[in-house]
Amino acid sequence: MSPTVTADALDSAGIRNAVNACLEDFLAVKARNADAECLPAEVSRTLHDFLSAGGKRIRPVLCVAGWHAGGGDQTPPPVLQVAASLEMFHAFALIHDDVMDNSATRRGKPCVHRALTALHQAERGRVEADRLGASAAILIGDAALTWADELVHTAGLTPVQLAAVLPLVDIMRSEVMYGQYLDITATGRPTGDIGRAMRIVRYKTAKYTVERPLHIGAALAGSPRSVRDALSGYALPLGEAFQLRDDLLGVFGTPARTGKSRLDDLREGKHTALVALALCHADPRQQDTLRALLGKPDLSEHEGDRLRHLFVDTGARDAVELMIEDRRGQALRSLETAAFPPAVAATLRHLLTVKM
Amino acid sequence: MSPTVTADALDSAGIRNAVNACLEDFLAVKARNADAECLPAEVSRTLHDFLSAGGKRIRPVLCVAGWHAGGGDQTPPPVLQVAASLEMFHAFALIHDDVMDNSATRRGKPCVHRALTALHQAERGRVEADRLGASAAILIGDAALTWADELVHTAGLTPVQLAAVLPLVDIMRSEVMYGQYLDITATGRPTGDIGRAMRIVRYKTAKYTVERPLHIGAALAGSPRSVRDALSGYALPLGEAFQLRDDLLGVFGTPARTGKSRLDDLREGKHTALVALALCHADPRQQDTLRALLGKPDLSEHEGDRLRHLFVDTGARDAVELMIEDRRGQALRSLETAAFPPAVAATLRHLLTVKM
């Protein structure tokens, strides 16, 4: 089951399979223990269903890439288990996110809180079942966070590895929480503050999704600070480019491809770089229209088109495209100057091409 | 600032002060770091306000008691910091609990989600501010959970201590989450299943509040399994007695003393041992009344009185009093047979007298 490393690139599919097996095994033990103690099977079953419904496992793959970047050999089980813990943590983040947004679906299935509402609806009224679904999802998210810890703690790391990894895990968690906090408090009242928009991008995505998983892998390999810095030189611009592209797709993308309505972000009034740039460069009349329509809960298709025109007319869309291009260039240059093993460099270069 | 140990009993007030200072220092660093990175001060400030608004610090005191029970000397800073982490974890549990119950007040002040709603209400509509308050409270609870980890990780434990403590921290967290899960899914539709009611008591309170804090302290001292078992012999019956008393007070207590309405638990339809016993021993007519009134959201004072009479008439109240007495006796006998240092025994004996 151990993924192989070829000269070309890391075996991403092998890493995904090994991580999935690790998560399955872990949850199977949790299910057996719960059964033995007459505790509800719903908790581990819900997480099992959520984790098997999809997900690209990008954080685990990057964690393993970090391990090899730091000079790690093979991909031993402790490294895979730490990689798996990042996916368990991500389940926590998504489950709570969906409760906060009251989202309906995730990965093509009802969100956890909706599924739990449905499960308990027969015995309760609608309002009570809604509340119970949300509460149960909050608790199951909490369980995922706790179990992400447990996966790290029981990975079989040496004391030196544990001491190197725990501070990074703690930092990553604080960062993503701050990023989310910035995001939810800015949503609904976007401004022209581009610095704030980029702080959300950096904390919520660039550090959480790319930089810290790489760092954690590198720390497991005992790599020096310089390797971590080289990884950041690649990770931060790439992560920012990811999120900026995602923000553009949320407004200009093809719903059939992105899987979500092009009106959601606009109706919520997300404080993205696109929106901040438009607000900055709009003339007074355009400003008025932007302020009237951004965050309007019942925004029509026609109004959505008006906003899209404004993003183009103010030059905001082009500016974001330039930012993405600029960041891709930075990430690529960092990769070229860093002395990563060829398979790692190939894997990281691949990410630069497929995701944009 | 280090608490002293007298021959009589542990210096509980000193432990509380040292734990409070540890939490203050930790959050002050978090506030400074957030400021330096332009991240919202609201997160650490909210936790600071929450933690300084009250709380008996019973888990930290028990953790230090466990340390001494396990043969630990003095109370070194790492032990105090682990004790403090239990209070940070408890902040997480209470903040999420209040979101789930949509409670209004805690420790005489508005709950975290309510305070955050008020903070953001000026700029938003009511519904949006309510949602934002709940979301922000969920995130701040998540931060508290993550920071509880960080307090353990940065306590300066030896690798051996860390390896002994982390599994217990993980178990404690799973247990309380399962206890909460059992509780919320049983609330609103209580049954005569006394085993289920006692499982809620055991996981939500006895293990979380009493047993695991003692175990964690004992593990820090490197104590053998036998000490932990002796602590369990005291902790589980005491913790169960605590919760059974709390359940009785929730229904029969004096609101001026308990600080909460005597109708709350009945209106919610909490699945307590009292309720389960009443349902078990009720005749068919009493059953009908119990089922009609338990969980009725607008239960009147008069209907509350009817339920109280039924708890008396079915013998449920007396049965719970007997259960409490029985458990107090068990805890006391365990204490007498255990060979704890005199100061520890005195502290644990004291808990048996003041809390009932």
Domain boundaries, chain B: 1-156, 162-356
Pick the residue from chain B with its C-alpha nearest to A34.
B178
Contact B103, B254 (CB under 8 A): no
Closest approach of chain A CAs to the CA of B5, in angstroms? 32
Question: Which chain B residues contact residue A188 at CB under 8 A?
Answer: 124, 128, 132
What is the torsional sign of CA B47, B48, B53, B59?
A: positive
Backbone angles phi, psi at A5, to 5 degrees: -115, 120
Alpha-carbon torsion, ordered B347, B349, B351, B356, to 10 deg:
-170
- Cβ separation of A100 and B147 shorter than 8 Å? no
Domain spanning A158-356, CATH class: mainly alpha
What pLDDT score was predicted for residue B259?
73
Rounded to a whole number, what is the distance in Å from the CA of B177 to chain A's nearest CA? 6
For residue B261, name the pLDDT band (cuts at 50, 70, 90): confident
The arrangement of secondary structure in B162-356, i.e. its CATH architecture, is Orthogonal Bundle (1.10)
- Average pLDDT, stretch A43-67? 96
Whether A153 and B134 lie within 8 Å, measured CB to CB: no
Report pLDDT for B1.
43
Beta-carbon separation of A195 and B40 below 8 A: no
Average pLDDT, rounded, for chain A: 94
Please name the residues in contact with A157: beta carbons below 8 A apart, sequence gap of 6 or more: A78, A82, A165, A220
Q: Where are the beta strands (DSSP E) in chain A?
A: 105-106, 109-110
- Do B177 and A143 make contact, defined as CB atoms within 8 angstroms? yes
Q: Would A1-156 and A158-356 be classified into the same CATH topology?
A: yes
Question: Six-digit token pair at B227?
Answer: 């000490």
pLDDT tier for residue A93 given thresholds of 50, 70 and 90:
very high
What is the pLDDT averaged over residues B33-55? Answer: 96
Provide mean pLDDT across the span A133-162.
98
- C-alpha distances (whole Å) from B29 to each of A162, A176, B24, B44 are 23, 18, 9, 9
What pLDDT does residue A81 have? 98
Query: Rounded to 5 degrees, what are φ and ψ at A160?
Result: -65, -45
As to burial, measured by CB atoms within 10 angstroms (0-12 exposed, 13-18 middle, 19+ buried), residue A213 is buried
* Closest by Cβ to B177, choosing from A100, A142, A185: A142
Q: CA-nearest residue of chain B to A149?
A: B170
Report which DSSP code applies to B281.
H
Whether B192 has a pLDDT exceeding 60, the answer reads: yes
The partner residue sitting opposite B146, judged by closest CB among A124, A143, A170, is A170
Question: What residue type is B266 in one-letter code?
Answer: L
Q: What is the average per-residue pLDDT within A27-54?
A: 96
What is the mean pLDDT of the segment spanning B274-280?
A: 98
d(CA B92, CA B96): 6
DSSP annotation of A224 reads -
For residue range B84-141, what is the model confidence (pLDDT) as tens digits? 999 999 999 999 999 999 888 888 899 999 999 999 988 888 889 999 999 999 999 9
* pLDDT 10s digits, B3-20: 655 557 899 999 999 999
**Per-residue confidence (pLDDT) for residue A2, from 0 to 100:** 53
Mention every residue, 6+ apart, whose C-beta is less than 8 A from residue A128. Answer: B188
CATH superfamily of A1-156: Farnesyl Diphosphate Synthase (1.10.600.10)
Q: Is A254 exposed, middle or buried (0-12, 13-18, 19+ CB in 10 A)?
A: exposed
Ramachandran region, residue B351 (left: φ > 0; alpha: ψ -120 to 50; beta: rest): alpha
- Identify the pLDDT of residue A260: 77
Share of residues in chain B with pLDDT > 70 (%) = 97
CA distance B174 to chain A (A): 7
pLDDT for the residue A122: 85
Measuring CA to CA, which residue among B242, B249, B245 is closest to residue B308? B249
Rounded CA separation A157/A17 (Å)? 21
Contact A180 B139 (CB under 8 A): yes
Give the pLDDT confidence score for residue B4 in this predicted structure.
53
